[in-house]
Amino acid sequence: MSLLSTEVLRRRTFAIISHPDAGKTTLTEKLLLFGGAIHVAGAVKSNKIKKTATSDFMEIERQRGISVATAVMGFDYKGIKVNILDTPGHEDFAEDTYRTLTAVDSVIIVIDCAKGVETQTRKLMNVCRMRNTPVIVFANKLDRPGKDAFELLDEIEKELNIKVRPLSWPIGMGPQFQGVYNMYEKKLNLFFADDKQRVADDVIEITDLKSELLDHNIGAASANTLRDDLELVNGVYSDFDINTYLAGEVAPVFFGSALNNFGVQELLDCFIAIAPSPRKIVTESREVQPLEENLSGFVFKIHANMDPNHRDRIAFLKICSGIFERNKPYFHVRSEKRIKFSSPTAFMADKKSIIDLAFPGDIIGLHDTGNFRIGDTITEGEALRFRGIPSFSPELFRYIENGDPLKYKQLAKGVDQLMDEGVAQLFTLKTNGRKIIGTVGALQFDVIQYRLEHEYGATCRYESISLHKACWFESTNKEQLDDFKKRKYTNLAFDKHGRDVFLADSPYSLQMAIEKFPEINFHFTSEF
């Protein structure tokens, strides 16, 4: 077997997604703990645990206790190379999450067993469904009182519109939580909530549920309830079939408590056994298979100031085929230039190490001096273009003004770099050159202001502006295009890349523009 096929088969690249506060970042920490990537798990919000989460490395994330940027972490576990992308749960940062989902082969959805399926989880599941991405569900926080397991499974099926198959089953819940029966491996894992930072070693193999060993370990009443539950599970849900999971039709479900490190190892062990290795990716011209010899990859994220001391920008490249080699010149499709990368890096959140080789499924960081945009493609010469990495039309707008005349350069540089990350967009009015920032979530404005001040030493202030929607437009009918530009001149701007943008001040004005100028195409994402 060639080096390429060996490495492709041992890779698992996945994103962890959920509604805010379901325990996603805590689960990431515990997976890293099992992988030996860290030695003490942090928590996002915890008075007892002073260490902050590895994946929440930005200062504002530590202060607010939420994730605002996707973090990439890789580690080896039982001979498998695991690449985790921990995404923001908050809907104001959903765009980052949507783009991250283009770079993964499977997904783990975390659900709070008390709150059940929440709004953001539904939206993210729709994105997974569009791509037929295989999904595993982790029902979290079983150490707290929550919904009945059967009720939760029904809710997941109904709300996420996917069939489920439990592969582990909880014994009790909240204060009565005793552990989890691992149906995939036929083992009983007992829960002792003494040391929350240590991996429990108590695993009892019980292949026969009628065994007295079960009664001895969890008590006769709990043992009988477990037997009845499992009989019902096996009667209601069809046997687990890996192919229906890989096709995105069935979601295996695991139960546990990420904070207490419970049920996490069962999830990880089963995940590396059933989750897909890197899969084919569709481009505009053809399908790209991971085992192709020629390298291809796309940029799905740009992060300014990964290391504030060096003011570096990192482009996150997902490798789709071939072997990436350090110092080898590659073809940058949009600029049609060849670029060599002397220090490509592998990630552990904000910690980076230089690598010589990378394989399909890996996500590497490329130092960027402004060459890259989100969606850019790197190949050995073929003009490929990957689809489905859009910037969405913003819905919230504010004028951005300089807060300190002496720091104009810092502000201009900061805004320029932060806009490249794709979480917000900059529009310049054609009438007077005023700058407008557009976002899909209000929290983004705070993050931009905070990062400008703390990473670039620039202060800004916002002024309100009443706009409904920004959309890109183009037309082959020059006469109609010129007429539209003349009539709507006060509502026109251009984006960071010089493309025309129409800033509609109301739903009515947008509707009228669409009706009056039928030969102009209005676009609500930047991919056209």
Q: Rg for the chain (alpha carbons), in Å? A: 25
Burial class of 272 by CB neighbour count within 10 A (0 to 12, 13 to 18, 19+): middle
Q: Which two tokens stand for residue 425?
A: 């967009």
pLDDT tens digits, 365-380: 888 877 888 888 999 8
Q: What is the pLDDT of residue 427?
A: 92
Q: Which two tokens stand for residue 462?
A: 């916002």
φ, ψ dihedrals at 310, nearest 5°? -110, 0
At residue 469's C-alpha, the angle toward residues 68 and 459, to 5°, is 50
Q: Which two tokens stand for residue 380?
A: 């050995």
Q: What is the pLDDT of residue 243?
A: 92
State the average pLDDT over residues 190-215.
63
Least confident of 114-128, 327-341, 384-398: 384-398
DSSP bridge partners of 203: 189
Instruction: Give CA separation, 373 vs 378, 420, 497, in Å.
Output: 12, 7, 10
Which band of pLDDT confidence, cut at 50, 70 and 90, is reported for residue 28?
confident
In this structure, how many other beta carbons lie within 10 angstroms of the beta carbon of residue 473? 21
Write down all domains in the chain, each with its CATH number in brackets.
Answer: 3-274 (3.40.50.300), 281-379 (3.40.50.300), 396-523 (3.30.70.3280)
φ, ψ dihedrals at 75, nearest 5°? -155, 165
| Tokens 């290795």 belong to residue | 277
Least confident of 321-335, 345-359, 361-375: 345-359
State the average pLDDT over residues 308-318.
73
Residues in the chain: 528
Per the model's pLDDT, the better-predicted residue between 203 and 457 turns out to be: 457
Which band of pLDDT confidence, cut at 50, 70 and 90, is reported for residue 309?
low
Q: Per-residue pLDDT for 50 more than 60?
A: no
Q: Per-residue pLDDT for 195 more than 60?
A: no
**In this structure, are residues 167 and 139 in contact, taking their beta carbons and an 8 Å threshold?**
no
pLDDT tens digits, 466-522: 998 888 899 999 999 999 999 999 999 998 888 899 999 899 999 999 999 999 998
Mean per-residue pLDDT of the chain: 80
Alpha-helical (H) ranges within 10-69 are 24-34, 59-64
Q: What is the pLDDT of residue 528?
A: 46
State the average pLDDT over residues 28-42.
65
Least confident of 26-40, 62-76, 403-417, 502-516: 62-76
Contacts of 348 (CB under 8 A, 6+ apart): 37, 54, 73, 74, 75
DSSP bridge partners of 71: 86
At residue 398's C-alpha, the angle toward residues 393 and 403, to 5°, is 135
Q: What is the pLDDT of residue 307?
A: 57
Q: Per-residue pLDDT for 523 more than 70?
A: yes
Q: What share of the chain is helix, strand, coil (3-state, %, to 5)?
A: 30, 30, 40
**In this structure, are residues 139 and 255 in contact, taking their beta carbons and an 8 Å threshold?**
yes
Q: What is the pLDDT of residue 389?
A: 60
Helix orientation angle between 149-160 and 220-236, rounded to the nearest 10 degrees: 30
pLDDT over 70 percentage in the chain: 83
In this structure, how many other beta carbons lie within 10 angstroms of the beta carbon of residue 45? 13
**In this structure, are residues 460 and 402 in contact, taking their beta carbons and an 8 Å threshold?**
yes
Q: Per-residue pLDDT for 138 more than 60?
A: yes
Q: Which two tokens stand for residue 163?
A: 């069939």
Task: Give CA–CA dist 436/425, Å, rounded.
Answer: 8
- The one-letter code for the residue type at 72 is V
φ, ψ dihedrals at 432, nearest 5°? -135, 5
Task: Give CA–CA dist 294/288, Å, rounded.
Answer: 10
**In this structure, are residues 240 and 253 in contact, taking their beta carbons and an 8 Å threshold?**
no
**In this structure, are residues 251 and 121 in contact, taking their beta carbons and an 8 Å threshold?**
no
**Of residues 350, 331, 352, the one with CA closest to residue 340:** 331
| Tokens 């930005």 belong to residue | 58
Q: Per-residue pLDDT for 348 more than 90?
A: no
Instruction: Give CA separation, 407 vs 60, 310, 414, 415, 434, in Å.
Output: 22, 19, 11, 12, 17
**In this structure, are residues 38 and 17 in contact, taking their beta carbons and an 8 Å threshold?**
no
Least confident of 239-243, 259-263, 434-438: 259-263
State the average pLDDT over residues 137-162.
90
Q: Which two tokens stand for residue 259?
A: 């904070």
Please count the CA atoms within 13 angstroms of the CA of 26 that sit on its side-chain side: 27
Q: What is the pLDDT of residue 158?
A: 92
Q: Which two tokens stand for residue 302?
A: 């740009």
* The pairing of beta strand 80-86 with beta strand 11-18: parallel
Q: Per-residue pLDDT for 199 more than 80?
A: no
pLDDT over 90 percentage in the chain: 23
| Three-class SS of 307-329 | CCCCCCEEEEEEEEECCEECCCC
pLDDT tens digits, 207-230: 677 777 777 777 888 888 888 888
Least confident of 133-147, 284-298, 350-364: 350-364
Compute CA 348 distance to the chain's CA centroid, rounded to the nearest angstrom. Answer: 15
